[in-house]
Chain A
């Protein structure tokens, strides 16, 4: 199994670095072109959220196994302001004007598993996975 990769998110350059790391790992694991694009796009959305709303944080990309299925797991972690109303940010079209309001719900649709833990004033941790078919 490939070593987990941690990408520090501090600037818009790191957003591209994070999605490239995720894509490279997805490719190495044998994900098809469409799933590679789904994973890379989801990570781009989540890494941008870290950059825009928390200022900094980390994206960790790793290979996971559950029984016989293999997957790619992405953990986005920040110590930012946290999300007050998670159901609101997961609504299509909700935006704070910096994007199209598609980031969070879109990323959830592109991945298979999607979990958010957020504490106001402490930060947000999003764990998402894509399983190989």
Chain B
């Protein structure tokens, strides 16, 4: 089995991972584990998972994305999903998968703005 190689980049306090290839189930699970470990190691305040290049999102990967967002939240980190294509958004809703609890943004730029907003608000709340 191929070991998945999706770079998880760190910029300031945020992690950015862009999924560029169709993931096999096993790779998708490895990706989940890798993101969570990287959150822990890097102490990132937020994570962006960019799906601009993803043209199919089925219920398996959909569930995984929900899981990553929920698990990251438990660790104290916010996940924002960016760049869903219209066809993917339409298919997800028709499939019955609206990803409740998952924060999304139109593109990477808006995703970073959203993460900043959320993490600054959290910081104020803690002060």
Contacts and interface: CB of A to CB of B under 8 A. Distances in A.
A20 B59 CA distance: 16
B96 A41 contact: no
Interface string B78-100: 00000001111011001111000
Tell me the interface secondary structure of chain A in the complex.
helix
A100 B60 CA distance: 7
A44 B90 contact: no
Interface stretch (A10-18, A73-81, A122-130): A10-18
Contacts of A92: 96
A28 interface: no
Which applies to chain B's interface (DSSP): helix, strand, loop or mixed? helix
A34 B88 CA distance: 8
Given A105-B96, A106-B95, A109-B94, A37 B59 contact: no
Interface in A77-106: 92, 99-100, 102-103, 105-106
B56 interface: yes
Given A15-B25, A34-B87, A100-B62, A40 B97 contact: no
Nearest to B62: A100
A102 B96 contact: yes
A44 B58 contact: yes
Interface residues of A, number: 26
Nearest to A46: B58
Interface string A35-66: 01110110011001000000000000000000
Interface of B: 22-26, 55-60, 62-63, 85-88, 90-91, 94-97
Interface of A: 12-13, 15-16, 19-20, 23, 33-34, 36-38, 40-41, 44-45, 48, 92, 99-100, 102-103, 105-106, 109-110
